[in-house]
Amino acid sequence: MKLFKNIVLLVADSLRYDTVRGNGKPRLPYLSNHALNFHQAYSAGCWTLPATASIFTGFLPHEHQATTRSRNELRRDRPTLAEKLTTLG
């Protein structure tokens, strides 16, 4: 029997780094201390759609092409994180 690990991807859009600790968010420091953190990560886009599309595809906005409200579908030839994980079971 395979042992699968759970994946929780917490994406805090429009949240400055210095606001994550404290400020009435008691669970975030706990989660941060028990999780994998990326301290030098930068957003691939300047707003939610291209940034999260890059997270879920691994491609830059000009590659996945989900960049505007009218152009919001991913290229079908670019697999997403969910599709890759599905193939792993």
Domain that residue 45 falls in: 17-87
pLDDT single digits (tens) 19-57: 666 566 677 778 878 888 777 888 898 889 999 999 999
Given a contact cutoff of 8 angstroms between Cβ atoms, the answer to whether 23 and 16 are in contact is no
Q: How many domains does the chain have?
A: 1
Q: Does residue 31 form part of some domain?
A: yes
Q: Does residue 33 form part of some domain?
A: yes
Q: Does residue 76 form part of some domain?
A: yes
Compute how many other C-beta atoms are within 10 angstroms of the C-beta atom of residue 59: 18
Compute how many other C-beta atoms are within 10 angstroms of the C-beta atom of residue 53: 25
Give the span between the Cα atoms of 74 and 71, in whole angstroms: 9
Predicted TM-score (pTM) of the model is 0.74
